[in-house]
Every structure is written in structure tokens, then in C-alpha cells.
């Protein structure tokens, strides 16, 4: 799917792996978890559900969630208030991003200097997991979203007409037309649209984009293991299940 993003922050997951560069490498994560890492909500709202839960074969390490913070030997808590923007009352999806940087220190430095956009978690180049925002708080990690029905070829005739009218509106800049389409999508309920900042948890994984190869650096073994563990923990705690 095409995404349009806040500079330096990824958009939502690229189902076609063509445009949203920040997530093109997640096919390397695991044979057990597909490259599709969007999760649907099943039951629990934020903050409800088992406080301690085994995660599954090979990664059944216990964790505790205390007041929106993930307590585990695998996670370093480093909360930055600058990237928290109001309460996150419901989580419908987990969205993965790449940082377009080679080290976690660059992202952490930007947060320390007051950058307002970012994600709830950061997986460093060595696999260290940092929690950078409380999961009960909203982060600005998703930019404008493309119509999901177009990406999946499921638009009704009327909906397709509406979207095309917004995209072809005269006397508007390209960015304004894209923003209007995104606002139109935002009025829909998930999963009829892609996740937004208001209903998703964001995970940034360190990785530098190479313009020549049009791809990100390959995930390290430590990054693959840490990201897989973190996604499973969050999905279990939040009551999310794979689509």
C-alpha cells in the first residue's frame, strides 16, 4: 500500500512492499509470523487483560504490564513525554516501522531534544528494546493513510467514485488532496481502513535505507528475535489476533 508520512516517521504497513520503505524488511522476521503484522482487536481495551502471560513456544518469558509500561528484562523503559499526545483508549493494531537510521541513539537523541512524533517502542541495532512512550498514550507514528478498499480491490462503485473525486479535485495541491483522502478514510471504522494514531501501537526498528538498492538494511538476528517477542507480547496483552 502507498503511504504518506510525517518526515522521518513511517506510515502504516505496506502490504505490497512497494512504497512504504520503512517496513520492507519484515519478511525476515520469522517463518512463524508472516510479513503481515497488522493485528485486529478481539476483546480487551487498553490496560485490561492478563498482567502476566506466557507468549508461546520458545518465547514463553513472563512479563508484567504496570500502568502502561512493559516490565521485563528484555525492555529498557525510557519514556519521552514529547512524543505522547493524549490518551489512547483503544488499540486495534500494531504498526511496524523502520527508522531510516543506523543507530537507536539517533532516535533517542531526537526524542530527548523534544521531537514530537515517534513510536511507543524502539528496537535497537543490537536487539535492545526501548519503551519510549506509555501504551496508554497516543503517539504520532502514522501519517496519511491510503484507502484500504483500493489497496485490496474491494471498493464499492460509489466509494471508488468518492475517492477518485477527492484525488482529482481541482485547485488543490497534491498534499492537500492526499490529506483529504486520508481524512475521508479516518471516518471509517477499523478494519475497513488502515490503522491510525488514535487506535494503534507503533514499533520503530532501527534500519538504514539504501537509495541504490531501494531497501533497508537486513535485520540482525537480535532484532528479529526482539521484534517477534515484542509483537507477540503486545498482541497477547491487548487481545489482538492475526487477520
Helix axes 174-186, 157-167, angle to 10 degrees: 150
- 8 A C-beta contact, residue 224 and residue 129: no
- 8 A C-beta contact, residue 16 and residue 153: no
Q: Which of 103, 135, 105 is nearest to 119 (CA)?
A: 135
CATH superfamily of 3-144+195-242: Peptidoglycan recognition protein-like (3.40.80.10)
- Residue 240 pairs with which residues in a beta bridge? 41
**pLDDT of amino acid 9:** 29
Q: Using CB atoms within 10 A of its CB, is residue 95 exposed (0-12), middle (13-18) or buried (19+)?
A: buried
- 8 A C-beta contact, residue 113 and residue 212: no
Torsion angle defined by CA atoms of residues 80, 81, 85 and 86, in that order, rounded to the nearest 10 degrees: 120
pLDDT digit string (tens) for the chain, length 243 residues: 222 222 222 333 333 332 333 332 222 222 223 333 333 332 223 333 333 333 344 444 578 999 999 999 999 999 999 999 999 999 999 999 999 999 999 999 999 999 999 999 999 999 999 999 999 999 999 999 999 999 999 999 999 999 999 999 999 999 999 999 999 999 999 999 999 999 999 999 999 998 888 889 999 999 999 999 999 999 999 998 755
CATH 3.40.80.10 in the chain is located at 3-144+195-242
- 8 A C-beta contact, residue 101 and residue 204: no
- 8 A C-beta contact, residue 195 and residue 95: yes
- 8 A C-beta contact, residue 140 and residue 197: yes
Locate 54 and state its grid cell: 506466557
Q: Give the CA radius of gyration of the chain.
A: 18
Amino acid at each position: 500500500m502507498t503511504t504518506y508520512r510525517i518526515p522521518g516517521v513511517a506510515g502504516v504497513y505496506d502490504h505490497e512492499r512497494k512504497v512504504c520503505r520503512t517496513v520492507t524488511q519484515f519478511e525476515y522476521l520469522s517463518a512463524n509470523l508472516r510479513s503481515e503484522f497488522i493485528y485486529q482487536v478481539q476483546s480487551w481495551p487498553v490496560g485490561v487483560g492478563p498482567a502476566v502471560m506466557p507468549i508461546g513456544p520458545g518465547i514463553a518469558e513472563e512479563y508484567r504490564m504496570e500502568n502502561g509500561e512493559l516490565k521485563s528484562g528484555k525492555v529498557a523503559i525510557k519514556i519521552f513525554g514529547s512524543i505522547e499526545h493524549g490518551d489512547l483508549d483503544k488499540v486495534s493494531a500494531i504498526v511496524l516501522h523502520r527508522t531510516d537510521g543506523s543507530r537507536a541513539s539517533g532516535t533517542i537523541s531526537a526524542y530527548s531534544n523534544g521531537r514530537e512524533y515517534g513510536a511507543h517502542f524502539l528496537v535497537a541495532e543490537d536487539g535492545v528494546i526501548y519503551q519510549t512512550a506509555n501504551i496508554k498514550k497516543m503517539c504520532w507514528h502514522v501519517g496519511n493513510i491510503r484507502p484500504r478498499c483500493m489497496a485490496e480491490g474491494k471498493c464499492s462503485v460509489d466509494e471508488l467514485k468518492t475517492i477518485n473525486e477527492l484525488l482529482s479535485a481541482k485547485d488543490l495541491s497534491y498534499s492537500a488532496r492526499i490529506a483529504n483522502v486520508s481524512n475521508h478514510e479516518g471516518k471509517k471504522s477499523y478494519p475497513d481502513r488502515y490503522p491510525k494514531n488514535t487506535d494503534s501501537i507503533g514499533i520503530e526498528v532501527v534500519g538504514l535505507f539504501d537509495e541504490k538498492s531501494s531497501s533497508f538494511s537486513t535485520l540482525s538476528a537480535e532484532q528479529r528475535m526482539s521484534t517477534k517477542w515484542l509483537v507477540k507480547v503486545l498482541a497477547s496483552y491487548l487481545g489482538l489476533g492475526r487477520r
